[in-house]
Amino acid sequence: MSQSAYVVSDISCSHCTIAVTEEVTKVDGVTAVEVDLDTKLVRVSGDGFAGEDVIAAIDEAGYDARVAA
């Protein structure tokens, strides 16, 4: 299982969490999504998912994302 983290600086509320989680869980290979509003990080776990697909899903939810350093 692989894990990746993404910075989503414009998330701030439970609606943001729900919107991002719903879109990212649709990405093939994603099995878990954790949104941390305090750190502005979205952590994704799964097998075989592509980072660019996760970023596109977060964009679809209405937020900008980048891979966390």
> Is the pLDDT score of 69 beyond 90?
no
pLDDT of residue 61: 97
pLDDT of residue 9: 94
Mean pLDDT, the chain, whole residue set: 97
Average pLDDT over residues 38-67: 97
Cα–Cα distance for residue pair 15/50, rounded to 1 Å: 25
User: Could you write out the DSSP letters of every residue in 51-68?
Assistant: HHHHHHHHHHTT---EE-
Give the residue extent of every domain in the chain: 2-67
Q: Count CA within 13 A, CB hemisphere, residue 55.
A: 11
Assign domain 2-67 to a CATH class. Answer: alpha beta
pLDDT of residue 52: 97
pLDDT one-digit tens code per residue, 27-46: 999 999 999 999 999 999 99
